[in-house]
Amino acid sequence: MLMGVDHHRGYTWALAAGLNAALAAISAKFFASQVLKYGLVIFFNVTMWGCYVNSLKALSSLQATVTNFATNFISSGLAGYFLFEESLPSQWFAGATFIIAGVFVLSRSSIERKSSSDKKC
């Protein structure tokens, strides 16, 4: 089954929400000025919620939430590695792989269930 333009937009919004959540966490660690730090955390969190709400308009809550979470997890981990020189053990990569695989499985099963239930009505 091909996904429509709305689903693609929904995933784009969910990805943007996850990235903004990660940016909020990064800005809390990265900047020394308390005013700038809190201002950016608030800005990125408000932006994240706006993106998440838009993703819910096109996706199921499961698809939007899992995509948002996975994007936040992966981008936060990679930012920690590249920006803050944190170590990423092999277990992190294994977990990230399982999370990404889970996003695809849940996404596909939710779409298939929804389309089959739509046909019954």
pLDDT digits (tens, 9 = 90+) for 56-74: 999 989 889 999 999 999 9
Token pair in block for residue 53? 């709400």
Mean pLDDT of 7-19: 94
How much is the pLDDT for 2?
45
**Whole-number percent of the chain with pLDDT over 90:** 67
All residues at 6 or more sequence positions from 36 whose CB lies less than 8 Å from its CB, including other chains: none
How much is the pLDDT for 108?
74
Confidence of residue 104 (pLDDT cuts 50, 70, 90): confident
How much is the pLDDT for 3?
57
